[in-house]
């Protein structure tokens, strides 16, 4: 405790804590939590470019706070602070959101999660090493399809995914997108490519482009200003979009904690975002990856909280049903659990231990939990410097949302003490849970 107080005092004397606390509620119980989170965000061991958090207790927002800068000028242009409306590219949490859109189509169009997905895609999808084994949406949603990311998972508009995954087709190459030693349903390997196929399937089933389709299925019914296409965001939202940073050169592993913050993605300080390249060649139902169903949703923590509360309320938002309770029960039912030996899946050094349909699960067990006392389902995100958490306890109606806009040091070297998360992530989650939910 004395060390923590010295840290706060030191930050105050250096003048670094005031901007971090600018958007934090400074009354009552929020004061201690706000100062604790500000100290984590400003910790020189791993400084955070920005941090937006939201906690829900018993179905109601119990805390929200923002720290750091959504845009960093490095002395050349003014810094802009993160605020309650700041949007982030939330990385792989987008998969859970895409799944919610898919499950609405499952309800509306009777899509069978256990049927051969080829019938929905319009071409035969088979692992050539296991040609007699069908691949289903359930396999795609649980990362057990036998698809792999080694050959890539994002392709320009005008490219047909069937030409990438079909043996002998123009873009097939050496076939590195297929596992050779484990067939569909046999082995968990986290795979982004599967969500490109899911988004493409959704387009083919509706005749709508993926970004607009997700507006219709999920974002507009909830009244959210968010989207998978930053060029379509309204000006006010675009001005509030967080640039994602690292203190390292783009797309390399060379970190320099003492260097400048380097923009990685969503840097629109000098020009607005353009539509995806080649959009004039876009063919609905051929390839949805230009809109990144796997990681491209831009949304604020506050609006993520609206989605979380809808899920806690059994699929109802402000009296309007978005999803049926039976659909959510099906979606969040446990589908896969790591056996502890690595024989049934790759946990990626402990990040993935349990899985539902398009969602990760974090039981309150050593090595698997996000915070002690918090038994949760949801998703994590990690891309372009961003680290993100969307997790809730449906039974108790408690939830945590964390969006980090970049780190000054390699988070892979900031090992946590009780999980596969980085130490700063554990500290944020534990602080939020103790103060805003348990306390």
Position 282 in a domain: no
Co-location of 177 and 206 in the same domain: yes
- Domain boundary among the residues 216, 242, 262 is at 216
Q: What percent of the chain has pLDDT over 70?
A: 93
168-225: pLDDT as tens digits: 999 999 999 999 999 999 999 999 999 999 999 999 999 999 999 999 999 999 999 9
Instruction: Give domain status of residue 333, yes or no.
Output: no
Summarize pLDDT for 79-132 with one digit per residue, the tens: 999 999 999 999 999 999 999 999 999 999 999 999 999 999 999 999 999 999
Structural domain total, the chain = 2
Both 76 and 113 in one domain: the answer is: no
Question: Residue 197 belongs to a domain with what CATH number?
Answer: 3.40.710.10
Average confidence (pLDDT) over 332-339 = 98
| Residues 264-280 pLDDT 10s | 999 999 999 999 999 99
From 182, 216, 250, the end of a domain falls on 216
Residue 14 has pLDDT above 90, yes or no: no
Query: Does one domain contain both 245 and 378?
Result: yes
Calculate mean pLDDT across residues 41-69: 97
Residue 129 lies in a domain: yes
Q: What is the pTM of this model?
A: 0.93
pLDDT (average), residues 33-37: 96
Cβ neighbours around 252 below 10 Å, total? 8
Q: Let me know whether 366 and 238 are in one domain.
A: yes
**Average pLDDT value over all residues in the chain:** 93
Show the beta-strand stretches assigned E in 128-257. 244-246
Domain presence at residue 421: yes
DSSP label at residue 243: P
Residues 51 and 197 in one domain: no
**pLDDT of the residue at 30:** 56
Q: Is the pLDDT of residue 307 over 50?
A: yes
Query: What average pLDDT does this structure show over 222-242?
Result: 98
Q: Environment class of residue 422 by beta-carbon count within 10 Å: exposed (0-12), middle (13-18) or buried (19+)?
A: buried
User: Based on the domain organization, do 24 and 64 belong to the same domain?
Assistant: yes
Residues 180 and 105 in one domain: yes
Q: At 8, is the pLDDT very low, low, confident or very high (cuts 50, 70, 90)?
A: very low
Q: Quickly state the pLDDT bin for 15 (edges 50, 70, 90).
A: very low
Same domain, residue pair 164 and 127: yes
Question: Are residues 108 and 208 both part of a single domain?
Answer: yes
Query: Is 150 within a domain?
Result: yes
Residue 248 domain boundaries: 17-84+230-272+359-438
139 contacts 97 by C-beta, under 8 angstroms: no
Within this chain, do residues 104 and 67 fall inside the same structural domain, yes or no? no
Average pLDDT over residues 219-235: 98
Long-range contacts of 177-181 (CB under 8 A, 24+ apart): 177/147, 177/148, 177/149, 177/150, 177/151, 177/152, 178/127, 178/128, 178/129, 178/146, 178/147, 178/148, 179/127, 179/129, 179/146, 179/147, 179/148, 180/129, 181/129
Of 230, 130, 149, nearest to 196 by C-alpha is 149
Pair (251, 370) in one structural domain: yes
Is the domain of 130 the same as that of 28? no
């Amino acid at each position: 405790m004395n060390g923590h107080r010295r840290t706060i005092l030191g930050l105050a004397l250096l003048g670094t804590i005031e901007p971090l606390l600018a958007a934090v509620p400074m009354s009552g119980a929020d004061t201690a939590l706000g100062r604790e989170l500000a100290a984590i965000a400003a910790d020189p061991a791993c400084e955070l470019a920005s941090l937006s958090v939201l906690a829900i207790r018993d179905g109601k927002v119990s805390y929200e706070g923002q720290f750091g800068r959504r845009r960093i000028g490095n002395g050349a242009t003014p810094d802009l602070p993160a605020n309650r409306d700041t949007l982030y590219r939330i990385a792989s949490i987008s998969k859970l959101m895409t799944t919610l859109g898919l499950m609405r189509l499952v309800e509306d169009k009777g899509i069978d999660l256990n049927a051969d997905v080829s019938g929905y895609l319009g071409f035969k999808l088979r692992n050539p090493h296991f040609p007699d084994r069908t691949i289903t949406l359930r396999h795609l949603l649980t990362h057990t399809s036998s698809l792999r990311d080694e050959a890539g998972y994002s392709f320009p508009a005008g490219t047909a995914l069937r030409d990438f995954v079909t043996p002998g087709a123009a873009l097939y190459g050496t076939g590195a997108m297929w596992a050779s030693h484990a067939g569909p349903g046999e082995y968990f390997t986290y795979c982004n490519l599967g969500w490109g196929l899911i988004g493409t399937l959704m387009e083919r089933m509706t005749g709508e482009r993926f970004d607009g389709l997700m507006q219709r299925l999920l974002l507009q019914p909830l009244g959210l200003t968010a989207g998978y296409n930053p060029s379509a965001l309204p000006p006010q939202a675009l001005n509030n979009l967080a640039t994602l940073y690292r203190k390292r050169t783009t797309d390399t592993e060379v970190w320099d904690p003492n260097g400048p913050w380097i923009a990685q993605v969503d840097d629109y300080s000098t020009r607005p975002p353009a539509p995806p390249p080649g959009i004039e060649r876009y063919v609905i139902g051929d390839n949805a990856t230009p809109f990144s169903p796997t990681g491209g949703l831009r949304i604020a923590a506050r609006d993520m909280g609206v989605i979380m509360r809808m899920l806690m309320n059994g699929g109802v938002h402000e009296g309007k049903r978005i999803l049926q309770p039976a659909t959510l029960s099906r979606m969040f039912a446990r589908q896969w659990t790591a056996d502890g030996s690595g024989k049934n899946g790759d946990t990626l050094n402990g990040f993935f231990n349990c899985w539902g349909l398009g969602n990760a699960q974090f039981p309150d067990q050593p090595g698997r939990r996000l915070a002690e006392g918090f038994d949760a389902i949801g998703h994590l995100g990690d891309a372009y410097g961003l680290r993100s958490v969307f997790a809730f306890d449906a039974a108790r109606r408690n939830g945590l949302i964390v969006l980090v806009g970049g780190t000054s040091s390699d988070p892979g070297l900031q090992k946590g003490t009780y999980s596969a998360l980085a130490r700063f992530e554990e500290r944020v989650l534990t602080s939020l849970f103790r103060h805003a939910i348990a306390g």
